[in-house]
Amino acid sequence: MEGCKRRVRRLFSARSDKTILLPLDHGVTEGLLPGLEDMKTLLQQLDPKLVQGVILHKGLARELGSFVDTRQNLIVHLSAGTRHGLPPYNRSLVCSIQEALRIGADAVSVHINIGNDLEDRMLSDLGMVVDEAHQLGIPVLAAVFARGGQIVNELDPTLVAHCIRLGAELGADIVIVPFSGETDSFARAIAACPVPVLIAGGPRQPGFKNFLQMIKQVMDTGAKGVSIGRNIFQHPEPIKALEMIAEIVHV
């Protein structure tokens, strides 16, 4: 088995064959969000049986990576853009594969948005990252969203299915997309995708019970896990929130 595939397997729980990823990369896009003030303590509290990977930008990965349990995966996020930029959906590469490896990355991730006037460059970035990472045996996670001037409804089931397919077509090892809310079409798109599909948690939801019900719906469609940040680290009790999510994902 080639190195990349071995490392992909390590991103999933040996018990459940599912994964929970905790993205903590929001500081670049949003600034100092509530819940990100003391990331060192949060990282130290994470149970590796529950969380299989943590996503960080290179600066905090370098400074805080030692607090990520060695039984968890350190995923370095390579792309960035702020909500203040014009356009705000722009994402540019800000870290190389080589730098991510020097920091200690077990995998890398890229965020791209389709349906806008910068789509061609972001697709090119993803293609280049996949080529370079796979030469070194490093898995690539692609978070693919439909956002921009050509998009009316980001959660249109056809668009979400397109995002899933696009990530697989361009060689990502894992594809992360939002949940469209329509289980039948989402399940068909997952069934047709040759690589694992995870759902993104999105903004913090006011009703956590409803959020948990959404995760249950998603897992029933065949998704292989979740990538949830704000609905964990902005919860009044982040570890308890994580445990409740794990009870659904890791079954």
Q: Rounded to an integer, what distance in angstroms lies between the CA atom of residue 76 and that of residue 58?
A: 6
pLDDT (tens digit per residue) in 76-106: 999 999 999 999 999 999 999 999 999 999 9
Give me the CATH topology for the region 3-7+19-26+34-249.
TIM Barrel (3.20.20)
pLDDT (tens digit per residue) in 222-246: 999 999 999 999 999 999 999 999 9
Instruction: Read off the pLDDT of each residue in 118-124 and give the average, rounded to a whole number.
Output: 98
Q: Rounded to an integer, what distance in angstroms lies between the CA atom of residue 220 and that of residue 198?
A: 12
pTM for the full predicted model: 0.97
The pLDDT score that the predictor gives to residue 77 is 98
Domain ranges of the chain: 3-7+19-26+34-249
Q: Which residue, chain included where needed, has tokens 């959404």?
A: 214
**DSSP string of 181-242?**
S-HHHHHHHHHT-SS-EEEE--SPPS-HHHHHHHHHHHHHTT--EEE-SHHHHTSSSHHHHH
Instruction: Read off the pLDDT of each residue in 182-204 and give the average, rounded to a whole number.
Output: 97
The pLDDT score that the predictor gives to residue 199 is 98
